Structure 1
Amino acid sequence: MSVERTLWENDAMGLAALVQSGALSPLELADAAIARAEATRGEINAIAEPLYDAARERAKTIDRTLPLAGVPFAIKDLGIAIQGIATHGGSRVPPFVPDFNSVLTERYLAAGLNPIVTSTTPEYGLRLMTESAAFGITRSPWNTGHTTGGSSGGASALVSAGVVPVAHASDGGGSIRVPSACTGLVGLKTSRGRVPLSPLVSESWYGFVVDHAVTRSVRDSALLLDLTHGPDPLAPYAARPPQSAFVAAAAREPGKLNLAVYTRSPLGLPISAETMDALDKAVAIVREGGHRVEEIDLPMIDRTFMATFAMCVASAVAGSLRMEKARNGRSVTGDVERATRLLGRFGELMSGGETYTLLERLHAASRQLIAATARYDAVLMPIIAHPPLACGAMSPKGIDDIIETALDKLHLTRLLRIPGFFSQLLDKSLWFTPWPAIQNVSGQPSIALPVHVTDAGLPLGVQAAGRPGGEETLLSLAAQMETISGWLKRRALLRVPQ
């Protein structure tokens, strides 16, 4: 069996065991991952910056006793610093080249991971499809005519294509879970404060954004979290510590859990039969595992909640563009994409007092949500309302394109203050992904579960959201579901190595 085939077949823990035993060297793995990255690059377009030379040099000195020694890895091109490596954020704005590593980067390297590339993202992570003017369209290894989701779509493409077994990802409105749902992966959105973002930032998007990974296996997600979580002196807060190692939680039976299922769209929009099939499959799996499940409603999660979230994101984008202006010494509005420019202008229309009020409303709804679901160990709900979309499906066309162009060229952003106009824009932005932002606002953990493949051969995952700080329960439940369902054996069949 070739090293590339071994890379394609194994998860990160399996590869590390081969390195630790001496069956494979870190350099062999790096070379295989680089070869596979290049072989699939033209078809999936998931690489922002190749790091090949540095990866080969690092492989020569990696300590084989490290927990993930020599495992090839990808780091997202957004919100994390790698010393000397350009961070584009999926944008045509001149990149930021840090002279330091993020704490998370240091923890990855200390675990023995070997970054071979940075992965693509939409501009500033603002779209849940990985398509940008700077880097083009990132495509699914399952079917290159379809999206990987976003914003960690490059990460999910690389993992599902077998280039790397795990990849760094981040999630501010579903950006770990949506790509996982679209590409058949496990994607854990961690509790707020679980993994530090320092020293690059203290928090991002008012605390909505968290960092972790997309992985093939539950145990990989658990081990990687063990190796990267925990407080940092520069981080303003931290999630409560786990009772035991996360990898131990993934290895033990969850016991009999009290679960709920939420089936409604917060926007009141249609949900596809395929999404409901996926949710039904998840319910069937957990019932087979011996758990109790009941259907619930979450009335505090409604159109107002989603609109408030979107307005806070617009405010954050406006602030980010101001910071980019300061970094570059000039306005960057001409460099960014039209949609980013419009969102930033809309955010500028909100006063500080209005933004504070919006955040307080979200916090109040979050408290109601956490109280209403406190008796459940986890709540199952969809991630995507439809199977993975065709590439380009979310780009404005026809009259929508004309309207967006007019809003931009004529500086008519104030029209978005009209409730009916904004409501239409909200639907067009979030009709595919109305659920994931819930946990970004509440700070709860949630894990994407690759339970289903459609008749057309496209993955369609759902999520289980836990109590704040409840990653251990989610990992234990997910590992049991992985065993029952057999999803770990599924692979995208793009350029299967010999």
Structure 2
Amino acid sequence: MSVERVLWEEDATGLAGLVQKGELSPQELVDAAIARAEATRPDINAIAEPLYDAARARARTVDRKLPLAGVPFALKDLGIGLKGVPIHGGSRIPAFTADYNSVMVERHLAAGLIPIATSTSPEHGLRLMTESAAFGITRNPWNTGHTTGGSSGGAAALVAAGVVPAAHASDGGGSIRVPSACCGLVGLKTSRGRVPLTPLTSESWFGMVVDHAVARSVRDSARLLDLTHGPDPLSPYGAPAPKGSFAAAAARDPGKLRLAVYRKSPLGLPISAETLRALDTAIALAREGGHTVEEIDLPYIGRDFMADFCKTVTSAVAGTIRAEALRVGRGVLGDVERATRVLARFGDIIPAGELYEILQRLNATSRRLIAETAPYDAVLMPIIAHPPLACGAMDPKGADELIENLLDKLHLARLLRIKSFLGQLMDKSLWFTHWPAIQNVTGQPSIALPVHVTEAGLPLGIQAAGRPGDEETLLSLAAQMEKISGWQKRRAPLKVPS
């Protein structure tokens, strides 16, 4: 069997085992990953910066006794410091090049992982489709006419295409879970404070952004979390310490759990029959595992909640644009995409007192949700309301494009202060992804489960959201469902190696 075929078939844990037994060398794995990256690059367009020379050099010296020694990996082109490597954030703003590694990168390297590339992201992670003026369209290895989701779409594409078995990803409004749902992967959005973002930043989007990974298997997600979690002196948040290792949690039977299912749209927007079918598949797998499942409603998670979330994001975007202007030494609104400009201008006119009020309101709703769902070990709910969209499907067209142009050129962001106008923009931005932001606001962990493939052959995952700090139960449940379903063996049909 060729090394490329082994890379395509195995997860990170399996590849590391082969390296540690001497059956494969890190150099062979890295060379195979680079060859596959280049072979699939024209099809999926998932690489922002190739790191091939550095990867080959690291492969020659990596300690083969390390937990994930020699395993090829990718780092997201957003919100991370990788010494000497330009990070673009999916934008045409001049790239940021750190003279240090983020804490998480240091932990990746200490585990033996070998970054071969940075993966594409939409501009500043703002879209849940990975398409940008700077890098173009990143495409789904299951069907290159369709989206990978976003904002960790490049990471998901590289994993689904068999270039790397797992990749760094981040999630501020579904950006780990949406690409996982679109690409047939496991994607764990961790609890707030589980993994530090330092020293690049202390927090992002008022604590709503977390970092972890997209992976082929539950055991890889658990193992990566074991190797990267833990406090850092510069972090403002800290998640509760796990009772044991996350890998041990993924390896054990979860016992009989009490699960809930929430199937309504918090936006009151249509949900496809395929999404509900995927949710029912997850429910059936859970019941086959011996768990009880109860339908629940969350009436206070509605349009006002989602509008408050959107306003916090626009405020964060406005702050980011200001910080980038200071870094570059000039205004950067001309460098960014039209939609980013509109959001930044709106964020700039939200008064500080109103923003504080919004955050307090979101925190109060979070406390209520956490308290009311505490009796359940996890809550199953959708991630995407429709199967993976065609590339370009969320670009504004016709009247929508005209309105966005007017908002931009005439500096009419103040119109978004009108509730109905903001609601229309929110619906156009989130009609594909109604649910994921809930857990970013509450800080809860949530794991994307690749339970379903549509009749058209596209993955469609759902999520299980857990109690704050309780990734262990989610990983145990997910591993059981993975075993029952056999989803870990599914592979995208793109350039299957012989």
Matched to 2:151, the amino acid is S
**Secondary structure in 2 matching 1:239:** coil
Q: 1:411-437 CA deviation, whole Å, 9 max, x = no partner?
A: 111111111111111100001001000
Residues 173 and 440, structure 1, Cα contact 8 Å, conserved in 2: yes
Quote the offset at 1:455 in angstroms. Answer: 0.2
Residues 300 and 368, structure 1, Cα contact 8 Å, conserved in 2: no
Q: 1:2-31 CA deviation, whole Å, 9 max, x = no partner?
A: 100000000000000000000000000000
**Is 221-230 or 236-245 further displaced after alignment?**
236-245
Matched to 2:8, the amino acid is W
Which residue in the other structure is 1:262 paired with? 262
Which residues of 2 match residues 40-189 of structure 1 at below 5 A?
A: 40-189=40-189
CA distance in 2, matches of 1:341, 1:77: 20
Q: 1:295-332 CA deviation, whole Å, 9 max, x = no partner?
A: 00011210000000000000000000000010011100
Quote the offset at 1:233 in angstroms. Answer: 1.3
Quote the offset at 1:235 in angstroms. Answer: 1.1
Report how many residues are paired.
Answer: 498
CA distance in 2, matches of 1:189, 1:409: 37
Q: 1:218-274 CA deviation, whole Å, 9 max, x = no partner?
A: 000000000000001111221010000000000000000000000000000110000
Which residue in the other structure is 1:323 paired with? 323
Which residues of 2 match residues 29-44 of structure 1 at below 5 A?
A: 29-44=29-44
Residues 16 and 69, structure 1, Cα contact 8 Å, conserved in 2: yes
Which residue in the other structure is 1:307 paired with? 307
Q: 1:61-101 CA deviation, whole Å, 9 max, x = no partner?
A: 00000000000000000001000000000000000000000
Which runs of 5 or more structure 1 residues have no equivalent in the other structure? none
TM norm structure 1: 1.00
**Secondary structure in 2 matching 1:207:** coil
CA distance in 2, matches of 1:310, 1:410: 22
**Secondary structure in 1 matching 2:294:** strand
CA distance in 2, matches of 1:302, 1:415: 22
Which residue in the other structure is 2:338 paired with? 338
**Secondary structure in 1 matching 2:48:** strand
Matched to 1:424, the amino acid is Q
Which residues of 2 match residues 65-464 of structure 1 at below 5 A?
A: 65-464=65-464
Quote the offset at 1:469 in angstroms. Answer: 0.4
Matched to 2:191, the amino acid is S
Which runs of 5 or more structure 2 residues have no equivalent in the other structure? none
**Secondary structure in 2 matching 1:167:** strand
TM norm structure 2: 1.00
**Secondary structure in 2 matching 1:350:** coil
CA distance in 2, matches of 1:235, 1:303: 32
CA distance in 1, matches of 2:379, 2:223: 23
Which residue in the other structure is 1:497 paired with? 497
Matched to 2:298, the amino acid is L
**Secondary structure in 1 matching 2:87:** coil
CA distance in 1, matches of 2:285, 2:447: 15
CA distance in 1, matches of 2:482, 2:147: 24
CA distance in 2, matches of 1:355, 1:420: 19
CA distance in 2, matches of 1:122, 1:404: 18
**Secondary structure in 2 matching 1:282:** helix
**Secondary structure in 1 matching 2:96:** coil
Matched to 1:310, the amino acid is C
**Secondary structure in 1 matching 2:460:** strand
CA distance in 1, matches of 2:228, 2:119: 19
Q: 1:151-198 CA deviation, whole Å, 9 max, x = no partner?
A: 000000000000000000000000000000000000000000000000
Which residue in the other structure is 1:484 paired with? 484
Residues 91 and 123, structure 1, Cα contact 8 Å, conserved in 2: yes
CA distance in 2, matches of 1:440, 1:235: 17
